[in-house]
Chain A
Amino acid sequence: MRVHFPSIKERLLATALTQFFALRETPGLKKRPSTSEALDWIKLILAEDLSPEDLRHDTKSALPRMYGALLKTEQDVQLFERLAFMSRANR
């Protein structure tokens, strides 16, 4: 990651990668995101100048910001939304 984005802030990278791996480990995804998806996603985060806080609290939905770079089928989007909703309800 640092080869591609030498100037990325430590905290932002850590938050983004934590989210990325959590999403990657979601059971039952049709298309698990790989390195190129992670690179795209972080490129967008930098382009939009998002902070680690922006990543953590997405106000409206359960999905991460710019999720189109990570989730590539509508089944996966729905699955992830449902799981995130359930984990919220359990809390």
Chain B
Amino acid sequence: MTFTTTADYIASDDLAMAVNAAVTLERPLLVKGEPGTGKTELARQVALALGLPLTEWHIKSTTKAAQGLYEYDAVSRLRDSQLGDARVHDVANYIRRGKMWQAFTAPSRVVLLIDEIDKADIEFPNDLLQELDRMEFHVYETGETIRAQHRPVVIITSNNEKDLPDAFLRRCFFHYIQFPDAETLAPSCGCIFQASRSGFWRRR
């Protein structure tokens, strides 16, 4: 299970090394770089190369870390209690699973993409430290602990809008994607246009 350049994606030696190092260490891979250097696409290509399904979690300025774990839908439960719905007696019916929960309980190992982590507020990465480190979390409403059956390959991208906290950086393997020089860009273009000629087009 190693990652290299594919027909659709040109990875520099450094980048391929970084992916494989992060997989070896079982640490999240933190990818930074200018917009349009293929950070998000990297996760898709890693999933393809390793033959694993991809779970994507796109972060917005309003995203909270807890949403990636689960959300408790108290409003629906209140409504159901008014209507006398029997489901109301089991709190588990009102727990919505987040992306991390899905990734942890997937039947096989997955690649988990946490896209644009710098969009969220500064506490967001700190709130995920424990979960990413130990790959488990506690659901207070039901009292169960969700543990990853297969440790996901975590890829985190950042556009550098905010600095990430040191405690978070300490746990990641870091890679900065340089904007490609002419030598690297030429085969990338070739790779796209050849694909388009054969009637197969990949948006990137």
Q: A residues engaging B (CB < 8 A)?
A: 31, 34, 36-37, 40, 43-44, 47, 66, 68-69, 71-74, 77
B101 in contact (CB, < 8 A): no
We find that the number of chain B residues with CB closer than 8 angstroms to chain A is: 20
Q: Which residues of B contact A44 (CB under 8 A)?
A: 21, 24-25
Q: Are B174 and A43 in contact (CB under 8 A)?
A: no
Which of B22, B24, B160, B169 touches A72 (beta carbons < 8 Å)? B169
Complexed CA–CA distance, A34 and B166 (Å): 11
Q: Are A34 and B170 in contact (CB under 8 A)?
A: yes
Which of A66, A71, A73, A77 touches B21 (beta carbons < 8 Å)? A66
Complexed CA–CA distance, A89 and B114 (Å): 41
Q: Look across to chain B and name the residue whose beta carbon is closest to the beta carbon of A71.
A: B174
B39 in contact (CB, < 8 A): no
Complexed CA–CA distance, A37 and B167 (Å): 11
Chain A interface main SS type: helix
Which of B25, B160, B166 touches A69 (beta carbons < 8 Å)? B25
Q: Are A68 and B170 in contact (CB under 8 A)?
A: no
Complexed CA–CA distance, A7 and B174 (Å): 27
Q: B150-179 CB contact bits vs A (8 Å, 1 = yes)?
A: 000000000010010010011111111000
Q: Are B172 and A72 in contact (CB under 8 A)?
A: yes
Q: B residues engaging A (CB < 8 A)?
A: 17-18, 21-22, 24-25, 27, 30, 32, 160, 163, 166, 169-176
B178 to chain A, nearest CB (A): 9
Q: Are B173 and A68 in contact (CB under 8 A)?
A: yes
Q: Are A74 and B176 in contact (CB under 8 A)?
A: yes
Q: Look across to chain A and name the residue whose beta carbon is closest to the beta carbon of B24.
A: A47
Complex A-B: 19 CB contacts under 8 Å: A31-B166, A31-B169, A31-B170, A36-B170, A37-B170, A40-B25, A40-B173, A43-B24, A66-B17, A66-B21, A68-B18, A68-B21, A68-B22, A68-B175, A69-B21, A72-B166, A72-B174, A74-B32, A74-B160
Q: Are B17 and A73 in contact (CB under 8 A)?
A: no
Which of A31, A34, A40, A74 touches B27 (beta carbons < 8 Å)? A40
B80 to chain A, nearest CB (A): 47
Complexed CA–CA distance, A43 and B173 (Å): 13
Interface centre among B32, B163, B170 (most CB of A within 10 A): B170
Interface centre among B22, B25, B160 (most CB of A within 10 A): B25
Q: Are A72 and B18 in contact (CB under 8 A)?
A: no
Complexed CA–CA distance, A31 and B27 (Å): 18
Complexed CA–CA distance, A10 and B163 (Å): 38
Q: Are A68 and B24 in contact (CB under 8 A)?
A: no
Complexed CA–CA distance, A47 and B174 (Å): 18
Complexed CA–CA distance, A71 and B14 (Å): 14
Instruction: Given contact pairs A68-B173, A72-B174, enumerate 10 new A-B contacts (beta carbons under 8 Å).
Output: A31-B170, A44-B24, A66-B17, A66-B21, A68-B174, A72-B30, A72-B169, A73-B169, A73-B174, A74-B176
